[in-house]
Amino acid sequence: MNEALSQLPGPLVQVIYFFLSLFPLVLIHELGHFLLAKWNDVRVDEFGIGFPPRLVKVFSHGGTDYTLNALPLGGFVRLAGEDDPDIPGAFAAQTKRVRAVVLLAGPVFNFMLAALIFSSIAWAIGASAPLPQAEGLVQLIGVSPGSPAEAGGLVGGDIVLAVDGQLLPRLETGAEPLPGESRAANAFIAVTDAHTGRPMALTLLRGVKPVDVRVSLDGLASEPVPELAELEGLRAVRVTAPGGELQVGDLLLEPQVGDAIDQPIVLRGELQVLQTEVTPARNDAEGRGMMGISIGALTISQRMSLAEAAIFGPRQTLLLMVAMVDGLYRMLTGQLAADIAGPVGISKMSQQAGEQGAATFFSFMALLSINLGIINLIPIPALDGGRLLFILLEALRGRRIEPNREAIVHLIGFALVIGLMLVVTVYEVFGGPATP
């Protein structure tokens, strides 16, 4: 699929990836509302695939019209009497428990979809596991649209080998290491801070992925890689004849840093060695250098049994939910710079993920699904969380707020949400992302 899309014009590719990533997430969210509404005898007037304008009514059943609509952005559910309890079978006339269950179903289905995706990838393709011998390298997991990193030509999947001509673990930064990060990652973070406002020269490897192959460089048919010859403390060769599990063209790296590594790093693919410069911006919230990237260790895929995968998916989803909620809290309290992606940003990140392969793209979809579920639970009028807040207030007061007043609040909230999306989109198109 990626090869076919690569033949299309750039903007069109982004648009397609945008719809491919969001369509199933929104549809599964609305399906959750629909199924729980039906289960609790709430009248559903319409279940639409896509957004209006309507193309065709496929059929009607049980008082519900099932329709196909023009805009491929997921789907929608039209419940009878969302704000009018006088309509027969109205959503607003249901008990607090039923209304809460129907509202919660959308986000819960998003979390379930994410868990299913992670489990499926772990079983069919393999879950990511760090490659011990590659601790001296850092890989870019994602690049924020409009960021200094994107301006410098960095893309997701790039491997950072050196900064200013020095291997990452050889950099003497003097900074306190961050807990849980590798030596290379800590060095890269520290040197980014040190270069705030001035360019840093990066040596990148692109087009290659690590493979878990046990090999020795002794007696191996190989040739040096000229583009990497000037890096002190690094032995880098290309395989010129197949041997064992090695293929012609495999890149073998043996960085001489710290403790001796008895296994070289094996990278496979169409290698590009890139030299570029990036000027980190200052993150005003934290006072640190910021390139607009997320980084991680080099990993390999390890397939799991069906039982292991069934546990892995929900656990991974829960860990990411906690991390996202923590990040959102820190943004709202000013501990972290706001980082909001609109349709343009999501489309670019979708394309980046798609170009890295099916596993990366589906993992990105799972992250989006978790994000969609969490955002919908924020107590903002018009969102599921806003309606849940009104149910909570009703329980505390002992009586509900006048439906007409609640409807006005949700209408205002909806207008503000749409307005924010438009502002973010315009800013992404004409002024860069929400944060540098």
Kindly write down the DSSP assignment for every residue of 211-248, as one continuous string: ------STT--EEE-GGGTTSTTEEEEEE-S-BTTB-T
- Domain end among 300, 316, 347: 300
Q: Is 58 helix (H, G, I), strand (E, B) or coil?
A: strand
Residues 145 and 275 in one domain: yes
**% of the chain surpassing 90 pLDDT:** 28
Do the beta carbons of residue 148 and residue 195 sit within 8 Å?
no
User: Would 337 be classed as within a structural domain?
Assistant: no
User: Would 436 be classed as within a structural domain?
Assistant: no
Kindly write down the DSSP assignment for every residue of 146-180, as one continuous string: TSHHHHTT--TT-EEEEETTEEGGG----PPPPTT
User: Would 305 be classed as within a structural domain?
Assistant: no
What is the biggest distance separating any 2 CA atoms in the chain, rounded to whole angstroms? Answer: 84
Any idea what the Cα angle at residue 128 is, between residues 190 and 278, rounded to 5°? 30
Residues 175 and 189 in one domain: yes
Do the beta carbons of residue 171 and residue 190 sit within 8 Å?
yes
Of 4-13, 303-312, 337-346, 402-411, give the range with the top mean pLDDT. Answer: 303-312
Q: What is the mean pLDDT of residues 139-154?
A: 86
Query: What is the Cβ-side half-sphere exposure of residue 300, based on CA atoms within 13 angstroms?
Result: 14
Residues 259 and 198 in one domain: yes
Tell me which residue of 135, 123, 319, 17 sits closest to 327, measured CA to CA. Answer: 319
The residue type of 360 is T
Of 15-29, 31-45, 159-173, 391-405, give the range with the top mean pLDDT. Answer: 31-45
CA terminus-to-terminus distance, the chain: 32
Q: Which tens digit of pLDDT belongs to each residue from 177-220?
A: 566 567 788 888 888 888 888 899 999 999 888 887 777 666 67
Confidence of residue 119 (pLDDT cuts 50, 70, 90): very high
Q: State the residue for tokens 């690049």.
A: 143
Do the beta carbons of residue 37 and residue 98 sit within 8 Å?
no
- Distances in Å between the Cα of 242 and the Cα atoms of 229, 236, 254 are 23, 17, 19
Residues 287 and 404 in one domain: no
The residue type of 145 is P
User: Would 339 be classed as within a structural domain?
Assistant: no
Compute the distance between CA of residue 288 and CA of residue 46 in angstroms, rounded to an integer: 50
Is the backbone peptide bond immediately before 53 cis, with ω within 30 degrees of 0?
yes
Residues 100 and 29 in one domain: yes
User: Would 266 be classed as within a structural domain?
Assistant: yes
Q: What is the mean pLDDT of residues 104-131?
A: 91
Residues 137 and 75 in one domain: no
Residues 136 and 114 in one domain: no
Q: Which tens digit of pLDDT belongs to each residue from 320-377?
A: 999 888 888 877 777 666 666 666 677 777 777 777 778 888 988 999 999 999 999 9
Compute the distance between CA of residue 309 and CA of residue 166 in angstroms, rounded to an integer: 40
What CATH number does residue 270 fall under? 2.30.42.10
Radius of gyration of the chain (CA): 25
Q: State the residue for tokens 């109205």.
A: 90
User: Would 344 be classed as within a structural domain?
Assistant: no
The residue type of 187 is A
Confidence of residue 173 (pLDDT cuts 50, 70, 90): low
Compute the distance between CA of residue 102 and CA of residue 270 in angstroms, rounded to an integer: 50
Q: Domains in the chain: how many in total?
A: 2
b/e 187-196 (16+ beta carbons within 10 angstroms → b):
bbbbbbbbbb
- Domain end among 255, 277, 300: 300
Residues 406 and 271 in one domain: no
Q: What's the token pair of residue 219?
A: 């007696």
Residues 252 and 133 in one domain: yes
Residues 27 and 102 in one domain: yes
Which pLDDT value is given to residue 169? 75
Residues 101 and 213 in one domain: no
- Domain end among 300, 319, 346: 300
Residues 139 and 218 in one domain: yes
- Distances in Å between the Cα of 128 and the Cα atoms of 51, 293, 366 are 36, 19, 15
Beta-bridge mates of residue 238: 223, 251
**% of the chain surpassing 70 pLDDT:** 85
User: Would 194 be classed as within a structural domain?
Assistant: yes
Q: Is 341 helix (H, G, I), strand (E, B) or coil?
A: coil
The boundaries of the domain holding residue 266 are 128-300
User: Would 310 be classed as within a structural domain?
Assistant: no
